[in-house]
Chains A and B, each alone.
Chain A
Amino acid sequence: MATTLAKETTESVEHAARLEHVSKSFATPGGQQLVLDDITIDVAPGEFVTLLGASGCGKSTLLNLVAGLDRPTTGSITTDGRPALMFQEHALFPWLTAGKNIELALKLRGVPKDERRGRTEELLELVRLPGAYGKRVHELSGGMRQRVAMARALAQESRILLMDEPFAALDAITRDVLHDELTRIWGETGLSVLFVTHNVREAVRLAQRVILLSSRPGRIAREWTVDIPQPRRIEDAPVAELSLEITDVLRGEIRRHGQH
């Protein structure tokens, strides 16, 4: 009994998120459809992992499961506290100012009223948007909105940040800059990040570990450790090289679906 307890305690420290043999199927008119099949992933504290895959690999379903918005059909998921989640769309509340959006996250976490304003200003500084406190969401550009959304996610003080293609809807220039920002913020906060994308270079640019998912159902196809030192740039030769290798494997996976 005592050993079990001790084991559990050490486990919660060792993993920001742990997925064990996770499967998920949905009921469809044609019967049960398996979306995720036997996914096992450990995310260490402070680790940056990207999940990479083509359409239909169940990336977003997987993030929903880790975020606790849905339950796995079989298998188990444990996370170190409630994860924060960032979406492709900024999902900021348009009836609140940028600052109040962040304050709401603090309020829901139980931060006392007199500390919220100061903490919000700090977070806005962190995402380099000082002075955006009173701005309405529609007054901000796409890149600024995603940075406020990032600040709001950081306000939850989760140990793990889940990101669901957060930069996919941005223009290439802004995306590049936000990659730098995310790398910097990740370095400064020591957060664990589980980042979902279908952009191979983005995955390699950002992550310490890239996990490739096959499609229909989503299975772990392969995994790469990226030991290119940060700060990287998306144009760096080692990034391009590894991206090529991963793209070839990814295309192989996609090709299998055209063969029958």
Chain B
Amino acid sequence: MASTETTTVKDGGSVEAGLDALETTVTGRPTFRQTFVNKIFPPIVALAVVMVVWLILTPIVDDPSKLPSPGAVGTEFKNAWLAGDLLGYIWTSVSRGLLGFFFALLIGTPLGLLVARVKFVRAAIGPILSGLQSLPSVAWVPPAVIWLGLNNSMMYAVILLGAVPSIANGLVSGVDQVPPLFLRAGRTMGATGVKGIWHVTLPAALPGYVAGLKQGWAFSWRSLMAAEIIAQFPDLGVGLGQLLENGRTNSDMAMVFEAIVLILFVGIAIDLLIFSPLERWVLRSRGLLVKS
């Protein structure tokens, strides 16, 4: 009897190890070659096509005040770089944008939690908060100028009004999508009240929150550009929006193109350097980023 028992138990263990081995699939990370072919090469081709079309169009349009040649825009970049202004333009806008976004984070996060968790607050301001997302943030520039004047606070106010609703809404939808099973599992382990929020609700809501942050940044950046284009004031320093507006007032189309390229570049760069890796990390660690 005793010997039967030990063999049964031993068998159980080895059968299990076998099952585990059979059911575990090893997924490696892609090689650099795969990444290059799948991710890096296609955008390079797209960029090359745009340049070729541009080069073909320039002599056809034949009007530098409408369509400057790629060379002219390149010279604009070179001059700004040699004069030491290029990084200054970028830094003026990026520092404003990131600082404003940081404030939006500080306000949007507790606001989102409040709306998600307190029924009265949700009923009171939930619909307004999601409605605000569809209001173009440029609409806030005129009132912000009247209330705060032509200064940096006005810029920050416009960024906040653009980004806070996105961040708060992201967190709200993240919290709403937390599977009830996780909350039950947490409660049986003793994660109730604040512990429950900290150990279960917030980490479970993270994917929605990060999506909100990503959108919040996009909205911050757009609002800031709108504010910089409209609010011209020498003391504010020249950011990318002002650069664009300066190009327009000087009828310097090459400078306008330079500004647009920079605005686009910064928006993409911040997304690629900060938000996309953050989002991928959150999703990958949860097994939500599976190759189809």
Which residues in A have some Cβ–Cβ distance to B below 8 Å? 67-69, 82-85, 87, 89, 91, 93-96, 104-105, 108-109, 128-129, 136-144, 152, 156, 173-174, 177, 180-181, 184, 231
The interface on chain B, measured as residues whose beta carbon lies within 8 A of the other chain's beta carbons, has a size of 31
Instruction: Please give the distance in Å from B194's CB to the nearest CB on chain A.
Output: 12
Contact A108 B15 (CB under 8 A): no
Task: For the complex, give the distance between the alpha carbons of A184 and B5 in Å.
Answer: 10
Contacts of A139 in B (CB 8 A): 24, 287
**Interface SS of chain B: helix, strand, loop or mixed?**
helix
Q: Which residues of the other chain, B, contact A137 by a CB distance below 8 angstroms? A: 286-287
CB pair A105–B20 under 8 Å, yes or no, is: no
Which residue of the partner chain B has the closest CB to A129? B20
Known: A156-B190, A181-B12. 20 other contacts (CB 8 A): A83-B188, A84-B188, A89-B181, A91-B181, A94-B285, A95-B206, A96-B203, A104-B189, A108-B190, A128-B17, A136-B285, A137-B286, A138-B287, A144-B20, A173-B19, A177-B16, A180-B8, A180-B9, A181-B16, A184-B9
Residue B248, interface by CB 8 Å: no
**A141 is contacted by which of B15, B23, B189 (Cβ under 8 Å)?**
B23
Q: Among A91, A109, A174, A181, point to the contact of B182 (Cβ < 8 A).
A: A91
Which residues of B have CB within 8 Å of A104?
189, 191, 199
B117 at the interface (CB under 8 A from A): no
Minimum Cβ distance to chain B for residue A61 (Å): 13
Name B181's closest neighbour in chain A (CB-CB): A91
* Distance (whole angstroms) from the CB of B82 to the closest CB of chain A: 49
Interface string of B169-211 (1 = CB under 8 A from A): 0000000000001101101111100010001100110100000
B286 contacts which chain A residues (CB < 8 A)? 94-95, 136-138
- Given A82-B190, A143-B23, decide whether A91 and B185 contact each other with a Cβ distance below 8 A: yes
Interface string of B1-22 (1 = CB under 8 A from A): 0000100110011011101100
Cβ of A177 and Cβ of B285 under 8 Å apart? no
Q: Please give, as numbers and ranges, the residues of chain A lying within 8 Å of B17 by CB-CB distance.
A: 128
Question: Which B-chain residue is minimally distant from A158 (CB atoms)?
Answer: B188
Closest A residue to B185 by beta carbon equals A91
A95→B23 contact, CB < 8 A: no
Q: A109 contacts which of B20, B181, B190 (Cβ < 8 Å)? A: B190
Docked complex Cα distance between A181 and B13 (Å): 8
